[in-house]
Amino acid sequence: MAIYEDFQKLDIRVGKIIEVGDFPEAKKPAFKLKIDLGAEIGIKRSCAQLKQNYKADELLGKKVLCVVNFPPRQIGPAVSDVLTLGLPDEKNECILIIPDRDVPIGGRLY
């Protein structure tokens, strides 16, 4: 069983998607994202399988939640610095977890 201290080890922050690019080399349809996570963390890269539910222009400017303290992960020819969080829809495709109010980027989930 996990304890609260385990949860505290995860650094989950609010970021704003500032760039969206295609990722044709991915095994499943995906985007390459650049996410601004505020002054403390900076701009990070993420690869996310979102093409089933989002168009690139819908993602630009969207605030998302990201795990920022995992090590970078090589995904084909791309590197993902952060894990962008989502939940499966009824077809098991990703729906982003987003704040329901306007919150400052870089804010840490608690």
Residue listed under structure tokens 């095994």? 27
Q: Which fold has domain 4-96?
A: OB fold (Dihydrolipoamide Acetyltransferase, E2P) (2.40.50)
User: pLDDT class for 75, splitting at 50, 70, 90?
Assistant: very high
* Mean pLDDT, rounded, of the chain: 96
Tokens for 106, please give them: 């870089």
Q: What is the pTM of this model?
A: 0.94
Report the 10 Å Cβ neighbour count for 81: 20
pLDDT in tens, 41-68: 999 999 999 999 999 999 999 999 999 9
